A and B are shown apart, each in its own frame.
Chain A
Amino acid sequence: DGGITQSPKYLFRKEGQNVTLSCEQNLNHDAMYWYRQDPGQGLRLIYYSQIVNDFQKGDIAEGYSVSREKKESFPLTVTSAQKNPTAFYLCASSDSGATEAFFGQGTRLTVV
Protein backbone atom coordinates (compact mmCIF):
# COMPACT_ATOMS: atom_id res chain seq x y z
CA ASP A 1 0.00 0.00 0.00
CA GLY A 2 1.25 3.47 -0.82
CA GLY A 3 1.26 6.05 1.92
CA ILE A 4 3.05 7.75 4.77
CA THR A 5 4.02 5.88 7.90
CA GLN A 6 4.81 7.59 11.17
CA SER A 7 6.25 5.74 14.13
CA PRO A 8 5.80 5.31 16.95
CA LYS A 9 2.16 6.22 17.48
CA TYR A 10 2.79 7.16 21.11
CA LEU A 11 6.10 8.32 22.58
CA PHE A 12 7.05 9.28 26.10
CA ARG A 13 10.12 11.33 26.84
CA LYS A 14 11.82 12.30 30.05
CA GLU A 15 12.80 15.92 30.44
CA GLY A 16 16.28 16.59 29.06
CA GLN A 17 16.20 13.74 26.54
CA ASN A 18 16.28 13.94 22.77
CA VAL A 19 13.80 11.80 20.84
CA THR A 20 13.44 11.07 17.14
CA LEU A 21 10.14 10.65 15.34
CA SER A 22 10.13 8.59 12.18
CA CYS A 23 8.37 9.47 8.91
CA GLU A 24 8.62 7.25 5.83
CA GLN A 25 6.77 7.58 2.52
CA ASN A 26 6.59 5.29 -0.50
CA LEU A 27 4.74 7.74 -2.74
CA ASN A 28 7.93 8.91 -4.47
CA HIS A 29 7.16 12.46 -3.33
CA ASP A 30 9.83 15.14 -3.43
CA ALA A 31 8.45 17.40 -0.67
CA MET A 32 8.02 16.40 2.98
CA TYR A 33 6.79 18.38 5.97
CA TRP A 34 6.60 18.24 9.75
CA TYR A 35 3.77 19.92 11.65
CA ARG A 36 2.95 20.28 15.30
CA GLN A 37 -0.68 20.36 16.45
CA ASP A 38 -1.79 21.72 19.82
CA PRO A 39 -5.39 22.13 21.00
CA GLY A 40 -6.83 25.41 19.74
CA GLN A 41 -3.66 26.24 17.80
CA GLY A 42 -4.15 24.44 14.54
CA LEU A 43 -1.19 23.00 12.63
CA ARG A 44 2.10 24.85 12.76
CA LEU A 45 4.97 24.12 10.37
CA ILE A 46 8.22 22.99 11.97
CA TYR A 47 10.44 22.05 9.01
CA TYR A 48 9.97 21.17 5.38
CA SER A 49 12.10 19.71 2.62
CA GLN A 50 11.57 20.07 -1.11
CA ILE A 51 14.41 17.79 -2.16
CA VAL A 52 16.92 15.33 -0.75
CA ASN A 53 19.74 16.88 1.30
CA ASP A 54 17.90 20.19 1.59
CA PHE A 55 15.42 21.49 4.15
CA GLN A 56 14.08 24.80 5.45
CA LYS A 57 12.87 26.04 8.80
CA GLY A 58 9.18 26.57 9.24
CA ASP A 59 7.46 28.87 11.70
CA ILE A 60 8.46 27.06 14.93
CA ALA A 61 11.80 25.33 14.22
CA GLU A 62 13.52 26.19 17.51
CA GLY A 63 14.30 23.08 19.54
CA TYR A 64 13.86 20.73 16.57
CA SER A 65 16.19 19.26 13.96
CA VAL A 66 15.66 17.21 10.79
CA SER A 67 17.60 15.39 8.10
CA ARG A 68 16.73 14.36 4.54
CA GLU A 69 19.34 11.84 3.47
CA LYS A 70 16.88 9.72 1.51
CA LYS A 71 13.85 10.70 -0.55
CA GLU A 72 11.61 8.35 1.43
CA SER A 73 12.59 9.44 4.92
CA PHE A 74 12.34 12.68 6.91
CA PRO A 75 13.01 12.05 10.63
CA LEU A 76 12.35 14.75 13.21
CA THR A 77 14.42 15.05 16.38
CA VAL A 78 12.88 16.85 19.33
CA THR A 79 15.80 18.12 21.35
CA SER A 80 16.05 19.01 25.03
CA ALA A 81 16.05 22.67 23.93
CA GLN A 82 12.36 22.41 23.03
CA LYS A 83 10.66 23.85 26.10
CA ASN A 84 7.18 22.45 25.60
CA PRO A 85 7.41 19.36 23.40
CA THR A 86 4.17 17.66 24.45
CA ALA A 87 2.02 17.73 21.30
CA PHE A 88 0.69 15.76 18.36
CA TYR A 89 3.20 15.63 15.49
CA LEU A 90 2.13 15.13 11.89
CA CYS A 91 4.24 14.36 8.84
CA ALA A 92 3.10 15.06 5.29
CA SER A 93 4.38 14.71 1.75
CA SER A 94 3.50 16.01 -1.71
CA ASP A 95 4.85 15.57 -5.20
CA SER A 96 5.46 19.29 -5.46
CA GLY A 97 3.94 22.49 -4.18
CA ALA A 98 1.10 22.35 -6.65
CA THR A 99 -0.11 18.86 -5.86
CA GLU A 100 -2.12 17.17 -3.16
CA ALA A 101 -0.53 16.72 0.26
CA PHE A 102 -0.93 13.45 2.17
CA PHE A 103 -0.54 12.98 5.90
CA GLY A 104 0.57 10.22 8.21
CA GLN A 105 -1.43 9.14 11.25
CA GLY A 106 0.64 11.18 13.67
CA THR A 107 2.82 10.63 16.73
CA ARG A 108 1.67 11.81 20.14
CA LEU A 109 4.65 12.86 22.21
CA THR A 110 4.31 13.28 25.97
CA VAL A 111 6.99 14.55 28.33
CA VAL A 112 6.95 12.75 31.67
Chain B
Amino acid sequence: KQEVTQIPAALSVPEGENLVLNCSFTDSAIYNLQWFRQDPGKGLTSLLLIQSSQREQTSGRLNASLDKSSGRSTLYIAASQPGDSATYLCAVTGANSKLTFGKGITLSVRP
Protein backbone atom coordinates (compact mmCIF):
# COMPACT_ATOMS: atom_id res chain seq x y z
CA LYS B 1 0.00 0.00 0.00
CA GLN B 2 1.36 3.40 -1.00
CA GLU B 3 2.27 5.71 1.86
CA VAL B 4 3.20 9.37 1.47
CA THR B 5 5.05 11.22 4.20
CA GLN B 6 5.63 14.93 4.66
CA ILE B 7 7.91 16.10 7.45
CA PRO B 8 7.80 18.38 9.36
CA ALA B 9 4.09 18.95 9.87
CA ALA B 10 4.62 22.68 10.36
CA LEU B 11 7.25 25.23 9.44
CA SER B 12 7.70 28.91 10.30
CA VAL B 13 10.18 31.07 8.40
CA PRO B 14 10.92 34.81 8.04
CA GLU B 15 9.91 36.56 4.86
CA GLY B 16 12.45 36.38 2.05
CA GLU B 17 13.87 33.00 2.96
CA ASN B 18 14.27 30.28 0.34
CA LEU B 19 12.79 27.04 1.59
CA VAL B 20 12.41 23.39 0.70
CA LEU B 21 9.43 21.19 1.50
CA ASN B 22 9.99 17.45 1.41
CA CYS B 23 7.75 14.57 0.37
CA SER B 24 8.56 10.85 0.36
CA PHE B 25 6.60 7.87 -0.93
CA THR B 26 7.04 4.14 -0.47
CA ASP B 27 6.05 2.69 -3.86
CA SER B 28 7.98 4.05 -6.84
CA ALA B 29 5.40 2.69 -9.35
CA ILE B 30 3.65 6.03 -9.84
CA TYR B 31 2.22 7.84 -12.85
CA ASN B 32 2.87 11.30 -11.49
CA LEU B 33 3.35 13.43 -8.40
CA GLN B 34 1.42 16.60 -7.76
CA TRP B 35 1.94 19.46 -5.29
CA PHE B 36 -1.12 21.31 -3.98
CA ARG B 37 -1.74 24.36 -1.85
CA GLN B 38 -4.65 24.57 0.59
CA ASP B 39 -5.78 27.73 2.36
CA PRO B 40 -7.84 27.33 5.58
CA GLY B 41 -11.37 26.09 4.89
CA LYS B 42 -10.78 25.95 1.14
CA GLY B 43 -10.27 23.32 -1.52
CA LEU B 44 -6.93 22.32 -3.02
CA THR B 45 -5.19 24.36 -5.70
CA SER B 46 -2.82 22.50 -7.99
CA LEU B 47 0.68 24.02 -8.04
CA LEU B 48 2.83 21.65 -10.06
CA LEU B 49 2.47 18.25 -11.71
CA ILE B 50 5.53 16.10 -12.44
CA GLN B 51 5.07 13.08 -14.67
CA SER B 52 6.96 9.94 -13.69
CA SER B 53 9.35 10.40 -16.64
CA GLN B 54 10.22 13.97 -15.64
CA ARG B 55 12.78 15.21 -13.12
CA GLU B 56 11.41 18.67 -12.33
CA GLN B 57 8.83 21.34 -13.08
CA THR B 58 8.93 25.09 -12.52
CA SER B 59 6.25 27.72 -12.13
CA GLY B 60 7.28 31.21 -11.10
CA ARG B 61 9.00 31.05 -7.70
CA LEU B 62 8.18 27.36 -7.33
CA ASN B 63 10.31 24.44 -8.44
CA ALA B 64 9.46 20.82 -7.81
CA SER B 65 11.79 17.88 -8.33
CA LEU B 66 11.12 14.17 -8.47
CA ASP B 67 13.48 11.27 -7.78
CA LYS B 68 11.26 8.28 -8.43
CA SER B 69 13.88 5.65 -7.66
CA SER B 70 14.46 6.99 -4.16
CA GLY B 71 10.79 7.84 -3.61
CA ARG B 72 11.33 11.54 -2.95
CA SER B 73 10.15 14.92 -4.15
CA THR B 74 10.97 18.43 -3.03
CA LEU B 75 9.10 21.70 -3.51
CA TYR B 76 11.43 24.70 -3.54
CA ILE B 77 9.93 28.12 -2.81
CA ALA B 78 12.18 31.06 -3.61
CA ALA B 79 12.02 34.36 -1.74
CA SER B 80 9.07 33.39 0.45
CA GLN B 81 6.29 35.92 1.11
CA PRO B 82 3.56 36.13 3.78
CA GLY B 83 1.07 35.26 1.02
CA ASP B 84 2.75 31.87 0.69
CA SER B 85 1.41 30.91 4.12
CA ALA B 86 -0.80 27.85 3.60
CA THR B 87 -0.74 24.08 3.84
CA TYR B 88 1.20 22.32 1.10
CA LEU B 89 0.28 18.76 0.19
CA CYS B 90 1.92 16.30 -2.14
CA ALA B 91 0.08 13.42 -3.77
CA VAL B 92 1.13 10.53 -5.98
CA THR B 93 -1.03 8.82 -8.60
CA GLY B 94 -0.64 5.08 -8.64
CA ALA B 95 -2.43 2.06 -10.07
CA ASN B 96 -6.13 2.51 -10.96
CA SER B 97 -5.71 6.29 -10.96
CA LYS B 98 -5.71 6.43 -7.18
CA LEU B 99 -4.31 9.61 -5.65
CA THR B 100 -2.58 9.10 -2.30
CA PHE B 101 -1.86 12.18 -0.19
CA GLY B 102 0.60 13.11 2.49
CA LYS B 103 -0.75 14.91 5.57
CA GLY B 104 0.66 18.23 4.44
CA ILE B 105 3.08 20.85 5.75
CA THR B 106 1.59 24.00 7.25
CA LEU B 107 3.82 26.89 6.31
CA SER B 108 3.83 30.24 8.04
CA VAL B 109 5.90 33.07 6.55
CA ARG B 110 6.49 35.86 9.09
CA PRO B 111 6.65 39.47 7.83
Chain A interfacial positions (CB closer than 8 Å to B) = 6, 31, 33, 35, 40-43, 45, 48, 50, 56, 58, 88, 90, 92, 94, 96-106, 108
Contacts and interface: CB of A to CB of B under 8 A. Distances in A.
B99 A50 contact: no
Interface string B71-111: 00000000000000000010101001111111110000000
A43 B32 contact: no
Contacts of A43: 89, 91, 101
A104 B93 contact: no
**Range class of the B interface residue count:** 20 to 34
The A contact surface, by secondary structure, is: strand
Contacts of B103: 40-42
4 A-B pairs with the lowest CB-CB distances in the bound complex, closest first: A97-B97, A42-B103, A103-B44, A43-B101
Contact of A31 (B43, B44, B89, B97): B97
